[in-house]
Amino acid sequence: MLYNILLYILELGIFIASFFSAKVRKMWRGQHLAFKMLKKKVDPNTKYIWVHAASLGEFEQGRPIIEELRRKHPEYKILLTFFSPSGYEVRKNYDGADIICYLPIDTFTNARRFLRLIRPEMAFFIKYEFWYNYLHILRHRNIPTYSVSSIFRKEQVFFKWYGYQYRHVLKCFTHFFVQNEESRRLLNGLGIHNVDVTGDTRFDRVRDIAKQSKTLPIVEAFTEDKKIFIAGSTWLPDEQIFIPYFADKEDWKLIIAPHVIAEAHLEQIMQLLAGRKVIRFTQVKGEKELHEAEVLIIDCYGLLSSIYKYGDVSYVGGGFGVGIHNLPEAAVWNLPVIFGPNNQKFREAQELKACGGGFEIHCEKCFKRIMDGFIESEESLKKASDAAGNYVRTQSGATEMILEHLFA
């Protein structure tokens, strides 16, 4: 079969790339050590639930499922697998799962060996995970298998004339828990009706994060009684748009949490802020300099979700590049969210725009028009803030719906 041939080519490509990339090398080694780890850690007398997430973003969507399963069904242990190092290396010590490892590449031999070791009671694949051999063996063994927070578009291979053979993989799922009606409609068009629209479990995750948010004395001291604009996960094209706007806005302070905190990027930001009073989070020495500063740069990771609660308006980066980052993480705090034009594939962007809580920009002029509107009208700002927060609240609850279906 062509799929298996392509997999062996992919495996060869990963092997070759591992000589030139530390990230790929970690993935290669991790995949080949997975069976050794599983032989050591799997308890043959235990019932396992297998959750697979390709990377960190998918893990965040699967995390509410994992944590609710542990809380409500402690009779199961959780096996969590990743394909990408950006997921595994960050979450390899996550205490919500009993075993965490890389998923060996989807050859028939690997899939059969993996499932013989684990013998899962059920399996969850998060969002875009459609591994042909794993799924067919799961189906052959009558293991309930679920697709969670999946989203389908007509451009995908399943819905093309040449995707006839690969669409058989969809028949392997016991049930689909999809994000929207369009996904259900597309699956129904293929004769697949074991589908429920439950939404995106990521909304449950951002609400959980908000409940567990940290108090940040440095940020509190910086904010004082000013209006706060928070720019999260930004790249240089984002920063080149919003930074100039605040040069003469004395009533506003600016917090920037860039997506990349390498010194070269931080220096680019500092150049854009020339003439402004700027302080870096890790270099704060006392409250006096925080009170005097106009801009606070977050030059470390792990704080952004808590920082948003100190804001009045937010900007989420990535929309002038590969795609916007996490909009609900800001919106959950009742913050209007501004973002760049590359957002068509992000359901939450479209829905935030539709409800009045999200705003797309293409240039500095667009950004100025939106911010001027917020500054000139407190009513407009409040309306947008309420719309953003209400959107996240109304989208929550997917995790509960999924577990009710599974354990009714």
65-123 per-position pLDDT tens digit:
999 999 999 999 999 999 888 788 889 999 999 999 999 988 898 999 999 999 999 99
DSSP state of 210: H
Mean pLDDT of the chain: 92
In 166-235, which ranges are continuous DSSP H helix?
Answer: 181-189, 202-211, 217-223
Residues in Cβ contact with 148 at an 8 Å cutoff, skipping those fewer than 6 apart:
61, 62, 65, 124, 125, 126, 127, 177, 201, 402
CA distances (Å), 55 to each of 127, 128, 173, 327, in order? 11, 11, 21, 18
For the chain, the first-to-last Cα distance in angstroms comes to 39
Q: Quick one: CA dihedral 33, 39, 41, 46, positive or negative?
A: positive
Q: The pTM is what? A: 0.82
Q: Spell 192-215 as b/e; 16+ CB within 10 A means b.
A: beebebbbbbbbbbbbebbeeeee
In 3D space, the residue among 176, 171, 77 whose CA is nearest the CA of residue 124 turns out to be 176
CA pair distance 93, 71, nearest whole angstrom: 19
In 3D space, the residue among 375, 80, 331, 376 whose CA is nearest the CA of residue 226 turns out to be 375
Residue 8, pLDDT score: 65
Angle at 358 between CA 322 and CA 330, to 5 degrees: 75
CA distances (Å), 258 to each of 79, 161, 235, 265, 372, in order? 33, 42, 6, 8, 24
* Residue whose pair of structure tokens reads 């308890």 in the numeric block: 43
CA pair distance 137, 340, nearest whole angstrom: 42
Alpha carbons within 13 A on the beta-carbon side of 118:
34
Residue 164, pLDDT score: 82
Residue 399, pLDDT score: 95
Alpha carbons within 13 A on the beta-carbon side of 131:
28
CA distances (Å), 127 to each of 47, 52, 118, 330, in order? 24, 10, 22, 22
Tens-digit pLDDT string for the chain (408 aa)? 667 677 667 777 776 777 777 777 777 677 778 899 999 999 999 999 999 998 888 999 999 999 999 999 999 999 999 988 878 888 999 999 999 999 998 889 899 999 999 999 999 999 988 999 999 999 999 999 999 999 999 999 899 988 887 888 999 999 999 999 999 999 999 999 999 999 999 999 999 999 999 999 999 999 988 999 999 999 999 999 999 999 999 999 999 999 999 999 999 999 999 999 999 999 998 888 898 999 999 999 889 999 999 999 999 999 999 889 999 999 999 999 999 999 998 889 999 999 999 999 999 999 999 999 999 999 999 999 999 999 999 999 999 999 999 987
Residue 4, pLDDT score: 67
Helix (H) / strand (E) containing 71: helix 56-72
Residue 304's identity, in one-letter code, is L
